Amino acid sequence: MRFRTRLLAMSLITLAIGLGALVVAGNVLLDLRVHSESSNLLRARADAQIAALDIRSAGIRVRDTPNDPTLDRRAWVLDGDRVIERPADAPPALDRLAVALGRRRAAGDHDAPGDVRLRVVPISAPGDDRPRGAVVVGQSTAPLETLQKEVLFGSFVIAGLILLGGAIALRIAIDRALRPVAVMTASAEDWGAHDLDRRFDLGAARDELTGLAATLDGLLSRIAASRRHEQRLAAEIAHELRTPLARLRLRAEVALAEEGDHAEAERREALRAVVDQTDRLTDTVETLLASARGELDARRGTTDLVALAAEIEDVEVRAPRGLPEAEGEPEILRRALAPLVENARRHARSRVTLELSAHDRHVRLAVIDDGPGLDPAIGEHAFEPGVGGGDGGAGLGLALARRLARSCGGDVLAEPGDGGRFVLELPAVPTSPAPRA
């Protein structure tokens, strides 16, 4: 069942329950009112009938009054057990019941056959505590019951019309209320597929619709950021693969072009280099993909940066004694360091130096070259994919180096100095205090 249908059904059920409660309450109140008016009328007729009696210890006598026909209709007067006055046209069953109630002195209102209600009022002579007789008056309730039935029927008809009108009004209101939601949903779906830069831009959430718009804007922003992340990761991985692939091709071409006595040895050396480069390339791809998929927990391991720096050939390593280990998976940090070293080699005049230090609970590995250094105009743009350093010399793999370092809780920074200077900074592994003697 659609949400629109469920909402309409729940609204109509609520409206129907409310109307039903009003109909029931109204008719119950009407019934109570009818009974009260009927009792008041019977009481008044009984009082008028008693006022027309001459009540003495010797007996009860009916006085002649101008409105005798009105009083005598549906009225019984009993002196003791003797009926001294009764209506001429009373049905036998009603007459018997009225006389029986009068003889029993059953004070109060009683239901009688033929939609008639009787009221019995015992009467006593002055100074006599015991009832001398009784007055019984009757009143037909047929008109009132007919009125009640008509009111009940009319209540149901009016409630049905209100329910029908409410259904139409609710359907229109719900359609108008949900139309913007449907439009926003369709727009968000279309933008998500074709234009992630579009936004509703309705400002801060003020109601349900603006809250939905803000939520959809946030969702579109996260989707756009995720897509940019994928595109940037693809560009960084492509750059990481481009250099080793170019080296493989160059080495193979050189081996193929070699002639003479050393050709076979050169080809063998080239093949060994190709195997080594292929292994490194495979490790690089697996590391990058595992990191991107979250299969490799970048912060799970620890790394000895001194040992990591010692793996790199043709560089000078400077490290103090007792340098703490750094937090981070070794293979990820190896891949983060590789672009920094490659960038330094590309722009160095004669040497590349790896300088390690520890400061403020961090371990720092500075990659220094004696080249021209980073162009100040580039600054942080050096860490964007596809940004070249020109004479200032920023490498294309710096974006990937920073991404991997940050996945380990660290960062890659460009610092001023003579030549190029890029620093891999990582949290230091806390050292346990020495036990007391």
Distance of CA 32 to the CA centre of its chain: 49
CA dist 434 → 327, 357, 437 (Å):
21, 22, 9
Q: Answer whether residue 291 shows pLDDT above 70.
A: no
pLDDT for res 28: 93
Tens-digit pLDDT profile for residues 118-149: 999 999 888 777 888 999 999 888 888 888 89
Average pLDDT, the chain: 82
Q: Which of 114-128, 289-303, 314-328, 368-382 has maximum average pLDDT?
A: 314-328
Q: Answer whether residue 161 shows pLDDT above 90.
A: yes
Domains of the chain with bracketed CATH: 1-51+141-195 (no CATH), 55-140 (3.30.450), 223-293 (1.10.287), 302-427 (3.30.565.10)
Q: Do residues 235 and 386 lie in contact, with contact meaning Cβ atoms separated by under 8 Å?
A: yes
Neighbours of 358 (CB within 10 A): 16
What CA–CA distance (Å, rounded) separates 401 from 404?
5
Give the sign of the dihedral formed by CA 363, CA 313, CA 240, CA 383: positive
- 59-73, 201-215, 219-233, 321-335: which range is least confident on average? 59-73
Tens-digit pLDDT profile for residues 22-37: 999 999 999 999 889 8
- 29-43, 109-123, 369-383: which range is least confident on average? 369-383
Closest CA to 118 of 149, 148, 91: 91
Query: One-letter amino acid identity for 47?
Result: D
What CA–CA distance (Å, rounded) separates 208 from 432?
54
pLDDT for res 68: 55
Contacts with 337 (C-beta within 8 Å, 6 or more apart), sequence order = 308, 309, 312, 365, 367, 401, 424
Residue 434's pLDDT band, with cuts at 50, 70 and 90, is very low
> Residue 104: what are its φ and ψ, rounded to 5°?
-80, -5
CA dist 61 → 79, 93, 133 (Å):
8, 26, 11
Q: Answer whether residue 165 shows pLDDT above 90.
A: yes
Calculated CA dihedral for residues 34, 37, 43, 48, nearest 10 degrees: -130
Question: Comparing 171 with 56, which gets the higher pLDDT?
Answer: 171
User: 412 - beta bridge partners?
Assistant: 424
Q: What is the mean pLDDT of residues 383-389?
A: 59
pLDDT for res 390: 37
Neighbours of 212 (CB within 10 A): 18
> How large a percentage of the chain has pLDDT more than 90?
29
Question: Vertex 119, ends 114 and 125: CA angle to 5°?
Answer: 145
Find the DSSP H helices in 258-299: 263-293
What CA–CA distance (Å, rounded) separates 62 from 66?
13
Neighbours of 71 (CB within 10 A): 19
